[in-house]
Chain A
Amino acid sequence: MAPCEGIEHLLPSYLEEDLSPQERRDVETHLESCPACRTLLALLEETALSLADMPELEPPHSLKEKLYCIPAGKRITFAFSDFLRRPMVQPVMAAASILFILFSIYTVHPRRQEINRAVDREFHRGVRAVSQVYAKAESWTSSLGEHRDTVLDTLKKIGLFGQGKGE
């Protein structure tokens, strides 16, 4: 007789008729002479019937009401968090965070007046530098205007615009 350990694990498949013909014969031969495995087989059948016959419960009404409330609330949260997760938004968020931190430091700084004055000074220095560059550019433009006719005559003479040939 085959040992019980070798047969036990085949019993659930035997009930489901999911064994090869040889395995089936081995199980049936064993069962004929083993009351313990016959008892186990009967217990397996009872267990299967009990599980299949478990009544299905109706969910409580309050639960369904809560479930109906989920979509509206959660979709908005999802849409916003989804927007924040976009790669394009992340550098903007980082820059905004840095500006916010700098602004926070500025507002609580004890020497805020000095910072104001320094910023004002640097700003005006910058403005002055830009105006100087602008003035220089203007003077170059006017000096170029003075020499414009001379330059154009020279260019015509050397035929750069294709007019020198006729003369």
Chain B
Amino acid sequence: MLIDTYSKKIFNLAYRFAGSYEEAEDLTQEIFVKLHHSLFKFDVEKNFTAWLLTLSRNHLIDRYRKTKWEKTSRDSFDEHHLSADERFNPEEGILQRETKRMVWDGLKQLSPDTRMVIILRDIQGKSYDEIAEVMDLPLGTVKSRVNRGRLQLAKTLKDKREVLHGTL
């Protein structure tokens, strides 16, 4: 039941955070092991999804600090996303796809906390209140981190485009 409901969500969170498909598999497994160990601590009056996301966030950031995935590069965007994107239409826009590639690569340049809030807010569409609960941060701090991350990604996109146009 838990696996059917949450494995996809957790796997995607781990993949977007770590950027490596194999790493995301390992991380998802570790998070579910932790979940089974900690399930008895869950307060039934609280929101389970937020609780699980907090547990996942803690694990992902702890693992990041211990292993520093940045030493290894992120998977290429096309490697797994191309087959997953059923809406992809070659005529729809090569530029849009290129933008997605650059934004995906740009995620690795964000600090782990900033990357996590960007994933929760802009990819998973969580509210600021939910993110504040998951990250255990004040609402204002979450908003400023999201804004900082967005600006950083937009500037990375600009730099990458300039490099691309410079080489053409």
Contacts and interface: CB of A to CB of B under 8 A. Distances in A.
Nearest to B10: A59
A47 interface: yes
Closest 4 CB pairs of A and B: A51-B122, A43-B154, A59-B11, A55-B85
Given A44-B151, A46-B157, A70 B33 contact: yes
Interface in B92-133: 96, 99-100, 103-104, 118, 122-123, 125
B51 to A, nearest CB: 18
A53 B100 contact: yes
B11 A57 contact: yes
B134 interface: no
A78 B7 CA distance: 22
Contacts of A70: 29, 32-33, 36
Given A43-B154, A47-B157, A56 B84 contact: yes
Contacts of A47: 99, 103, 150, 153-154, 157
- Chain B's interface size range is 35 or more
Interface residues of A, number: 35
Contacts of B99: 46-47, 50
Interface in A1-50: 8-9, 11-13, 18, 39-40, 43-44, 46-50
B147 A9 contact: yes
B158 to A, nearest CB: 6
Interface majority SS on B: helix, strand, loop or mixed? helix
Given A63-B28, A66-B29, A57 B100 contact: no
Nearest to B97: A50
A8 B154 CA distance: 11
Given A8-B151, A60-B25, A71 B84 contact: no
A80 to B, nearest CB: 13
A117 interface: no
B12 interface: yes
A62 B91 CA distance: 34
Contacts of A8: 151
Nearest to B31: A67
A123 B12 CA distance: 71
Nearest to B150: A12
Contacts of B80: 57
A59 B36 CA distance: 19
Contacts of B85: 55
Nearest to A48: B122
Contact of A12 (B32, B146, B157): B146
A88 interface: no
Contacts of A18: 143
A57 B81 contact: yes
Interface in B138-153: 143, 146-148, 150-151, 153
